[in-house]
A = this chain, B = another copy of it.
Amino acid sequence: MKNLLHSKDLSKREILSLLDRAEEFLETVHKRKRLKLADGKILAALFYEPSTRTRFSFETAMLRLGGEVISNEGMNETSSAKKGETLYDTGRVVSQMADIIAMRHPEPGSALELVEGARVPVVNAGDGPGDHPTQGLLDLFTIRRALGRLDDFTIVMVGDLRNSRVVHSQCELLMNFKGVRFILVSPEALRLPRSIFKELSKKFKVEETDHLEAAITGADVLSHTRIQKERFSTETEYKKYKGVYVLTPALMKKAPDSMIVIHPLPRVDEIDMAVDKDPRARYFEQVENGVAVRMAILAELLGL
């Protein structure tokens, strides 16, 4: 593994190896320690689109490994990109200083351009609606920790399946496993892109519905995402779904005791705060898991 660019580049062996490594780092994260593993190494965080949460997660991961960070969350505003520099040149230049690069960018495929120039490993920290492989990996990590496996389980994906890069990354990564049953819950207008749907359907049992309550009764994992009003063409269409996909304590009563709820955060109102206390809610725990997974990715790519 030289870079981590896209979820579909990862083999099952690579995924499991990263998750195993993350398992080891989780204790460091829980105990809030700093290792010496990455001593002297520098991470460059290049964010062409703001994402404080993801940036903080990468930076925390690097610091807990013992490394250092140089960082810019406003690359689109302040960097040479504005003067017309290509991503190729930026990759080339930054890799003369840093030992590894994490990039967030609004354009799908931008990570590939940076990699061409870079002389050090690059991690895709989200490129537009395309992919967010480190988030997908931490979701798998959370699932495996809860269920003990990544095969033979039922995942209910709910919300804006069309535009959520997190959902897309989950699908791509789960393609490496077997016996996964997908129940896709979304408004008609926000269905999973047909290309991903077809790919999934070749290997797995995939159902589409717009009814959340029925779907969760047999779920092992509920993967929730935010629905944005602006995605709908009419107010009527929006109102039809507004509230239907809000996860409430009442709805949680219909779900199995062993089901877990994951969500990439931030949430707005799609999960009632009263659900936070439910032990099945794992979205805050995912933040800690995310640091461990990113430690594993950075350590792996740095050859530590």
Contact = CB atoms under 8 A, between A and B. Distances in A.
Given A60-B98, A89-B267, A265-B89, A73 B74 contact: yes
B267 A94 contact: no
A88 interface: yes
Contacts of A177: none
A287 B97 contact: yes
Interface in A37-67: 39-42, 44, 50-53, 55-57, 59-60, 63-64
A45 to B, nearest CB: 10
Given A266-B80, A266-B84, A287-B97, A34 B44 contact: no
Contacts of A59: 70
A56 B94 contact: yes
B92 A284 contact: yes
A176 interface: no
B50 A93 contact: no
A284 B96 contact: yes
Contacts of A84: 266, 268-269
A32 B80 contact: no
A291 interface: yes
A235 interface: no
B284 A93 contact: yes
Interface string A68-85: 101011110111100111
A268 B83 contact: yes
Contacts of A70: 55-56, 59-60, 63
Interface in A261-286: 265-269, 273, 276, 284-285
Nearest to A94: B56
A44 B32 contact: no
Given A89-B266, A93-B284, A265-B89, A77 B56 contact: no
A103 to B, nearest CB: 13
A208 interface: no
A102 to B, nearest CB: 13
B79 A52 contact: yes
Nearest to A119: B284
A287 B50 contact: no
A33 interface: yes
14 contacts: A33-B40, A42-B60, A50-B79, A57-B97, A60-B98, A72-B73, A73-B74, A83-B226, A84-B268, A85-B267, A89-B267, A93-B266, A96-B288, A97-B291
